[in-house]
Structure 1
C-alpha cells in the first residue's frame, strides 16, 4: 500500500466516504489547475454532495497533510487575490487596495477573505507549487484570481481577446514594446507585483511616437492615469524585483467585464469560522493574541436550560448530569446541521454562531423540539430551553486561549436570551427582518409577537419578537 492509499484510508475514519472518494479521484486524476485552489462549495455542488460534509472532509484532509489551506484576501470587484496567507493570523492589515480596480476595501471576513485548499506536494506535485513555471493564463487562473471567479477551460483564448501585448520579464531585465494604441481605456497590469497603470487614450490619432516607462518593484504607489493619443507607443518595462513579472496591456471593454463578472459561490472566512468541524480542529490556533478582525454580519444564538438547578435537586446529580450531557450533544448536532458552530458552553448555557439569521431560527426551532422529545423520553417534561437570537456586526478575537467574538451584538444576544420564558424564542428586529427568516416562520406557521424592552447596559430600548 503506497502513502496516498494509507492517508486516504485514515481519512475515511473521520470524513464522509463519498467526500473521501471524490478527493481521492481528484488527487489521482484531476488536472493540476483543479488542485491548486479547491473551492469547497463549488466541488460540493458539482458532485451533488452536502457543503458541510465537503468542508469537513477538506479540513480533515488538511490535518492529515493531504491538503494545504489558504486564506486569501480578494478584491470583491475583480476577484483578484490581494494577499495570500497560510493562516488567518497574517491577515493583519485594516485595509487592502486593489491596483487593478484602483479601489480600497476595509478588511472584513464576510466576503473579503476566502478559504481554498491545494494538494500538498508530499501527495502530488502540481505546477502551482512552482509558480515561476506557469504561463500567463495559468498564473491568472491558479495564483492571481480567486476561486470565486468562474473561468472557462480555454482561458488562454479568452485572455488574448482582451490583451494587446504581454511579456514574461525575468528579474533585473527590461523590455521595450512597440504598440499601436486604440482609443479607449487600457491597463498595463502585472499580477505578480500587483502594479497597475491606467492609460486614457483619446483625441486625434498622432503620427508621432509616444513614450512611456514603467518600473516594477514591491512598492505600492497609486499613480494617476496617463493621457495618450491613439497611435504608436514605445512602452519600456523594467523589472526591479528578485522574481519574474508578467506585465500585460489590457483593453478595458465589455469582453473584459464579462470575464470579471463570472462568479460562483466560494467558502468565506466567516462561513468557515461558523463551521463546527473547523472549531473542533482549530479552536485554539486561529487568530493571534490581540488580533481583531471585523465581521459585518453574524448571528448569535444563546440557549440555557430552564431551572437546571431544580433539575439536579429533583432527579439527583447522576441522572441530571446524563440529561445535561445529552442536551449538549443534541444541540451541537442540530447547530452543526444548520451550518452553525458552538463557540462555548457556560454552565448549562450554549453560545453558537450562524452565518445568517434564518439558519439560527431553524436551529432554534429544532432544538426546542429536540428538548421536548428528550424530556418525554426521560420522563422529564420540564426540560425546556430559553433561547435568544440577535444579528449584527462583531469582532473575531482570541479570548481565554480560543477563538471567540466580541462586541455589542454579542452582549445584546446574551441579554435577550434572559427574556425568554418557557418554550419561547426571543429574537431582535434584525433577525425577523431577514427575508429568509420571514419565509421560514411563515412556512412553520409561527407568528412572532413584538414588544419593546430595556436591556441592561443598552442605552435605547430594543424591539424584540417572541416566537411561540
Structure 2
C-alpha cells in the first residue's frame, strides 16, 4: 500500500467521509496554488459540504501529517502575509506593518490571522515547497498573498498584470543590478515580497527626458520603506541585495488595474474561528498559546450555563443517578455547542462556558439547549434538570490559563453575571445579542420576544441592558 493510501485510510477513521473524499480530489486534481495555502472554507463551498466537517477533517489531516497547518498574520488591506508560522505561540507583536500598503495595524484575531493548510510533500510536491524556484507571479499567488484573496481567472489576471506592471526583476543574494523604467503620470510602488522592502514613488509635475536615479537596498533585518517624488520620465534604479535570499522586485503602477488584480476577497478560516472550533480545542487542548500571550479579539460571543438545583438533585435521587443525569446534561450541551460551530471552553462544577464567532449561533445553541433539557425532563417524568443560560458579545483577550486556551476580559465577566441573573429555566441576553440581525431573525422565527430586566449587573450597574428571552403572545 502506498503511504498516501495508508494516511487517507487513517483520516477516514477520524473525519467526515465526504470531506476526506473532497481532500483526496483536491490533492489529486488541485493546482499548486490551491494546495499551497489551502482554504478549508473554499473547499467546503466547492464540494457543497458543511464548513465544520471540512475544518475538522483538515485538522485531523494536519495531525496525521497529510497537511501542514500555518498561522498567517495578514495585512487587512492587501491580504499579504506579513508573518507565517506553524504555531500561534510565535504571534507576539501587538502591531504589524505592511510595506506594500505602507500601513501599520494593531493585531487582532478576528480577520488579521488566517489559518491555512499546505499539502505535505509526502502526498504531492508543489512549487511552494521550494519557493526559491517559483516565478514572480507564482511566488505572489502561492506564498505572499493569503488564502482569502480571490484572484481573477488566469487570462484576466495576466491581462491586468501586463497593464499595471512596469517591470519585474530577480536579484540574487549578493547581486547588484540596474534597471531603467519609464515613469507614468501616476504613483508607482516598487516592492519585494520576500524581504518586504518597498519604495513609494509619487510622480508629479511636467514630464522630463532627464534621467532620475533611485537606489534600493535589500536588507533582511526589517521591512524597509522609502519615499521619493519624481517627474514622469526615465528612472534608473540600482539594487543591492545584501540578504541570503533572492529578491523579486515588482514595479507597479498604482491604479484600478492593480486593485482589480489583487482586490477580490473570499471567506477564509480565521484564528478567531478556529479557537472556537470544538475539534481544534479537543486536538490542541494544551498547545495553542504560551502562558504570557495576550491576543486581542474584537468580537466574540460567550454562552454560560448553570444547572439549577444540582445539590438538591443529588440528595433527592442519590449520587449514582444524579451523576448520570449531570453527565447526560453535559453530553447534550457539548453536542449542541459543537453543532452550532462553537466550542466548550471549560466546565466549572455544573456550569459550562462556551464561545461562538457570531451571536446568532449562540442564540440557536441556547434555544436548543433549553428544548433538549425540557425533553430530557419529559422523558424522565420529572423536572429535576433546570438550565440557566446567559449570553453576551464583545471584545476579549485570548489567553492561556491553567494549561489551556481561555479568554479574559470584561465581556467574559458580564456574560457570567448575565447567567447569574437567571433564576429558573430561562435565557438572559444583553443588547448586542439582540441587535445582531441574524439573532433577531432567529428569535422572530421562533416567536420569542425579550423583556427588559430592571436589575443591574453586580459591579456594572445599568450600563449593560439585559433582557430575558421568552415566548411572545403572538
Give TM-score, length-normalised by structure 1: 0.98
Match of 2:413 in 1: 411
The whole-number CA distance in structure 1 between the counterparts of 2:404 and 2:323 is 25
Match of 2:100 in 1: 100
Match of 2:138 in 1: 138
The whole-number CA distance in structure 1 between the counterparts of 2:321 and 2:287 is 35
The whole-number CA distance in structure 2 between the counterparts of 1:144 and 1:125 is 19
Could you tell me whether the CA contact under 8 Å between 2:73 and 2:83 is conserved in 1? yes
Could you tell me whether the CA contact under 8 Å between 1:36 and 1:119 is conserved in 2? yes
Match of 2:115 in 1: 115
2:305 to 296, 300, 303: 303
Evaluate the alpha carbon distance shift between residue 221 and residue 83 of structure 1 in structure 2; reply closer, same or farther with a 3 A threshold: closer
The whole-number CA distance in structure 2 between the counterparts of 1:231 and 1:301 is 62
Evaluate the alpha carbon distance shift between residue 449 and residue 459 of structure 1 in structure 2; reply closer, same or farther with a 3 A threshold: closer
The whole-number CA distance in structure 1 between the counterparts of 2:349 and 2:453 is 29
The whole-number CA distance in structure 2 between the counterparts of 1:462 and 1:58 is 39
Alignment partner of 1:457 is 2:459: yes
Match of 1:54 in 2: 54
1:217 to 219, 223, 230: 219
Any idea what the Cα deviations from partners look like across 1:226-281, whole Å, max 9, x if unmatched? Answer: 11111111111111110001011000011111123200000000000000000000
Provide the alpha-carbon RMSD of the alignment. Answer: 1.3
Matched position secondary structure for 1:20? helix
Alignment partner of 1:284 is 2:286: yes
User: Structure 1 stretch 89-98 or stretch 114-123: which is displaced more?
Assistant: 114-123
User: Structure 1 stretch 265-274 or stretch 220-229: which is displaced more?
Assistant: 220-229
Could you tell me whether the CA contact under 8 Å between 2:196 and 2:224 is conserved in 1? no
Evaluate the alpha carbon distance shift between residue 334 and residue 137 of structure 1 in structure 2; reply closer, same or farther with a 3 A threshold: same
The whole-number CA distance in structure 1 between the counterparts of 2:68 and 2:222 is 29
Matched position secondary structure for 2:236? strand
Alignment partner of 1:327 is 2:319: no
The whole-number CA distance in structure 2 between the counterparts of 1:213 and 1:224 is 10
Match of 1:268 in 2: 270
Q: How far does residue 188 in structure 1 lie from its aligned partner after superposition?
A: 0.4
Alignment partner of 1:382 is 2:384: yes
Matched position secondary structure for 1:161? helix
Q: How far does residue 451 in structure 1 lie from its aligned partner after superposition?
A: 2.2
Could you tell me whether the CA contact under 8 Å between 2:73 and 2:112 is conserved in 1? yes
5 Å-filtered alignment, 1:177-216, equals: 177-216=179-218
Report the number of matched residues: 468
Matched position secondary structure for 1:394? strand
Q: How far does residue 461 in structure 1 lie from its aligned partner after superposition?
A: 4.4
Give TM-score, length-normalised by structure 2: 0.96
Match of 1:74 in 2: 74
Q: How far does residue 313 in structure 1 lie from its aligned partner after superposition?
A: 1.4
Could you tell me whether the CA contact under 8 Å between 1:137 and 1:159 is conserved in 2? no
The whole-number CA distance in structure 2 between the counterparts of 1:452 and 1:212 is 68
The whole-number CA distance in structure 2 between the counterparts of 1:100 and 1:361 is 41
Any idea what the Cα deviations from partners look like across 1:302-341, whole Å, max 9, x if unmatched? Answer: 0011111111112111111111111111111111111100
Could you tell me whether the CA contact under 8 Å between 1:453 and 1:463 is conserved in 2? no
The whole-number CA distance in structure 1 between the counterparts of 2:459 and 2:382 is 36
Gaps of 5+ in 1: none
The whole-number CA distance in structure 2 between the counterparts of 1:158 and 1:311 is 70
